[in-house]
């Protein structure tokens, strides 16, 4: 319950992209429980408003295509209007592709991976980093994947995009450290979210069993797992942590 939880993010203002479902919704809920104001940016306006409405702030749910520079710039202005500024940015929006040989993925699917998993972080940085640098504080959290560390076959271009996120996180952390802006990443293993079927190809008990057999702790990541890890990394409890890609994977990458 929120009243029982340490409010480590009291007074903080956060944006969570892709926050209308799955891991993004879990992080947004935990941030709110810990005292933050949260704007949810999602392609699905109804989903974004539904999650934000859980704490009476439906107007904090916004429709945003994070691969569109005009929409990202508008998001920055809307965040200033709604919250007066931003302290925490969670680049969670992402897409995958169905397992297939690397030489068979369509050009359109490859471009979508680049736009949503990579270009969006570049655009969000251009829109928000100047203000973080000016205020001399902030936390950026990029959602990568265990696929960027320990790739699964037939997901090559998704894996590669998440490897880029991990490298970008470390480079951003080094460059922004003098401005007291910390940048970290989370590497979740697959979660029981809308993207799960994409990664598995099909969702059957047999396929799930094979997938779970690769996770020593024996279960998928949950939105609650991601929320807990994200709240820590974006709080002052992690004030000396930057450039880290934290695995939330039940031991899969060991």
Q: Which residues are catalytic?
A: 158
Among the listed residues 150, 149, 138, 158, the one whose alpha carbon sits nearest the alpha carbon of residue 245: 149
CB 116 within 8 A of CB 64: no
CB 242 within 8 A of CB 182: yes
Q: Across the chain, how many H-helices and E-strands are there?
A: 9, 7
Q: If you ran DSSP here, which 8-state letter would residue 221 be given?
A: B
The first and second tokens of residue 248, run together, are 């939330």
Whole-angstrom CA distances from 39 to 65, 75, 204, 207 are: 14, 9, 35, 36
The first and second tokens of residue 36, run together, are 């933050």
Among the listed residues 22, 27, 5, the one whose alpha carbon sits nearest the alpha carbon of residue 89: 27
HSE on the CB side for 224, CA within 13 Å?
2
């Amino acid at each position: 319950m929120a009243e029982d939880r340490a409010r480590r993010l009291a007074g903080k203002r956060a944006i969570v992209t892709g926050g209308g479902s799955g891991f993004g919704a879990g992080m947004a809920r935990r941030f709110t429980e810990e005292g933050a104001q949260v704007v949810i940016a999602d392609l699905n306006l109804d989903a974004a408003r539904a999650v934000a409405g859980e704490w009476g702030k439906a107007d904090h749910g916004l429709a945003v295509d994070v691969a569109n520079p005009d929409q990202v710039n508008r998001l920055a202005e809307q965040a200033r209007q709604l919250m007066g500024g931003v302290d925490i940015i969670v680049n969670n929006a992402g897409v995958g592709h169905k397992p297939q040989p690397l030489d068979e993925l369509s050009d359109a699917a490859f471009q979508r991976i680049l736009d949503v998993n990579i270009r969006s972080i570049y655009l969000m940085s251009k829109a928000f980093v100047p203000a973080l640098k000016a205020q001399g504080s902030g936390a950026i959290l990029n959602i990568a994947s265990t696929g960027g560390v320990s790739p699964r076959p037939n997901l090559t271009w998704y894996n590669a995009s998440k490897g880029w996120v991990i490298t970008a996180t470390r480079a951003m952390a080094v460059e922004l450290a003098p401005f007291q802006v910390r940048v970290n990443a989370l590497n979740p293993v697959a979660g029981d979210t809308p993207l799960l079927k994409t990664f598995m190809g099909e969702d059957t008990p047999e396929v799930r069993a094979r997938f779970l057999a690769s996770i020593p702790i024996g279960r998928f990541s949950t939105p609650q797992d991601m929320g807990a890890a994200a709240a820590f990394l974006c709080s002052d409890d992690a004030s000396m942590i930057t450039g880290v890609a934290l695995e939330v994977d039940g031991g899969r990458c060991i």
